[in-house]
Amino acid sequence: MPINAHPEYVNAEKEYHQADTDVARLKALELMIKHVPKHKGAEKLRKNLRTRYKKFKSDQAKAKKGKKGKKGIKKSEMQAVLIGMTNSGKSSILKTLTNAHPSIASYGFTTQNPEIGTMNYEGCDIQIVDLPPIASEHFDKGIINNADTILLVVEKIHEIEEVKKEITNKRAKQIIIFNKTDLYDKNTKRKITATLKSKRYNHILMSTFTNEGIEDLKKKILKSFPIIRIYTRHPGKKEKLDDKPVILKPHSTLRDVAEKILHGYSKKVKYAKITGPSSKFAGQKVGLKHVVKDKDLVEFFTE
């Protein structure tokens, strides 16, 4: 115990040693710092308390971060990830495309944790992930490696190569989003487009301020996934078409469609009627081996 310690300090120190939770320990430590003797003889003690306090705080911050990390992101069937330099407008794009409400700010390094939103487009639920910026300590390559589609958000042409350097996932499709076109006149935009075209990038010019390019972007995102959509209608419910299509890989069969609706369902199906790109005529009667195509409409018949 330091010489000439206040009784408040003595009590706080006692509380500190008796505390059985981190919260109580931290509270006692704060009291100790408040009442620690101010004379020169206690200098070492003051320093020691401050160090302990700092360590406590950083441990707590780490624990909190760890918990968040564990929560992770459950990848959905179609996932696109936004990556780019700070301030390029990734979070603004997430907000424009989805139901999410991410923090948006002009000061840089705003996004600290991945943010997720769902984009509903042509009956599909597409997961959009907004990442902290490249160069941020929170930037997460793991998510990029798992993504189906990578959306590279840039404000300047030269950023494209810098962002590309961060991508090791060679399997994912890439879409270059040149954002903030509201800042440029027609002529400049024409030049930007010409450059992007000459480099053969799958690209889009857009602005979250004017919504220029948003619809095209949605189309491009959906098109980037190697999927087909099959719409189903259930017998006896002719008037009711399920608005959410069944999502499958290209070249799937009707058996795959039935199994996706309900595991074991294909065993009950006797035949199906199909209308759409894979049918010779509307309502063609087919078996489970029939290979479906995007936007087919299927009606299953059991007994």
- Point out which residues bind ligand GTP (CB under 6 A): 84, 86-92, 104-106, 108-111, 133, 179-180, 182-183, 207-209
> Do 208 and 234 contact (CB within 8 A), yes or no?
no
Distance CA 146, CA 124 (A): 19
Q: Which does 19 bind (CB under 5 to 8 A by kind): Mg ion, ligand GTP, none?
A: none
Site for Mg ion in 65-104 (CB under 5 A): 90-91
When the beta carbons of 49 and 206 are compared against Mg ion, the nearer one is 206
Cβ within 8 Å of residue 47, ≥6 positions away: none
Q: Name the minimum Å distance from CB 88 to ligand GTP.
A: 4
- The verdict on 253 binding Mg ion (CB under 5 A) reads no
CA distance linking residue 278 with residue 297, whole number of Å: 9
Which residue lies nearer to ligand GTP by CB, 108 or 250? 108
76 binds, among ligand GTP, Mg ion, none (CB under 5 to 8 A by kind): none
Query: At its nearest, how many Å lie between ligand GTP and the CB of residue 212?
Result: 8
- Quote the CA–CA distance of 33 and 43 in Å, as a whole number: 12
In this complex, which beta carbon is closest to ligand GTP, that of residue 119 or of residue 258? 119
For residue 203, the 8-state DSSP code is E
Q: From residue 103 to residue 122, what is the string marking binding to Mg ion with x (rule CB under 5 A)?
A: -------xx-----------
Q: Nearest CA to 87 among 202, 187, 183, 215?
A: 183
**Cβ closest to ligand GTP, residue 102 vs residue 245:** 102
> How far is 31 from 28, CA to CA, in rounded Å?
5
Taking the least distance from each CB to ligand GTP, the nearer of 86 and 275 is 86
SS3 state at 176: strand
Residues 38 and 171: their CA atoms lie apart, in Å, by 63
Which two structure tokens, joined as six digits, stand for 146? 């798992």
Binding residues for Mg ion, rule: CB under 5 A, are 90-91, 110-111
